[in-house]
C-alpha cells in the first residue's frame, strides 16, 4: 500500500467513526496525544483525544438520527515518509465541518495527531 493509499484508508476510517462511532476503534484513528481544536465565539477550544472520544461516544450518532452522510477528501500532502496533512469535509448532524489533519506514521501505522476544525455550514 502506498503512503497516499494508507492516508486515504485512515481518513475513510475517520469518516466511519464520525458517522457511527461504534463502527471503528477510536485508537486506530487518533493518536492518544492528539489535540482537537476549533474556534467558537472567538475562543480557541481544545480537547484531548480521550475527551474527544468521550464526546463523540456520548452524543447520538448521525447514523442513529438518520442524518445524511456527506464527506469528501479535499486534499492531502505527503511531507515525508512519516508525516502527511489532509483537509476533509464531513457532515455531522446539522453541521458541515472542514477538518484539517496532521497525520504521522508511528510504528508502521498512520494516526491523526492533530485535528483543527471549523464549521463550514450550519443546516439549522
Domain locations along the chain: 3-122
The CATH architecture to which 3-122 belongs is Roll (3.10)
Return the pLDDT at 26: 95
Burial class of residue 81 in the structure, from the number of CB atoms within 10 Å of its CB (0-12 exposed, 13-18 middle, 19+ buried): exposed
Beta bridge partners of 84: 78, 103
The model's pTM is 0.93
**What tens digit of pLDDT does each residue of 12-59 get?**
999 999 999 998 899 999 999 999 999 988 899 999 999 999 999 999
- Kindly state the cell numbers that stand for 83: 508525516
Round to whole Å and give the CA distance between 93 and 121: 11
Round to whole Å and give the CA distance between 108 and 117: 26
Amino acid at each position: 500500500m502506498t503512503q497516499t493509499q494508507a492516508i486515504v484508508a485512515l481518513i475513510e476510517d475517520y469518516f466511519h467513526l464520525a458517522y457511527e462511532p461504534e463502527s471503528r476503534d477510536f485508537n486506530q484513528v487518533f493518536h492518544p496525544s492528539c489535540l482537537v481544536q476549533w474556534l467558537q465565539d472567538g475562543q480557541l477550544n481544545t480537547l484531548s483525544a480521550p475527551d474527544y472520544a468521550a464526546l463523540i461516544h456520548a452524543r447520538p450518532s448521525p447514523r442513529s438520527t438518520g442524518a445524511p452522510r456527506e464527506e469528501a477528501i479535499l486534499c492531502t500532502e505527503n511531507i515525508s515518509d512519516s508525516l502527511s496533512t489532509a483537509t476533509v469535509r464531513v457532515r455531522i448532524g446539522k453541521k458541515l465541518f472542514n477538518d484539517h489533519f496532521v497525520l504521522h506514521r508511528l510504528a508502521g501505522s498512520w494516526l491523526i495527531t492533530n485535528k483543527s476544525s471549523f464549521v463550514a455550514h450550519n443546516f439549522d
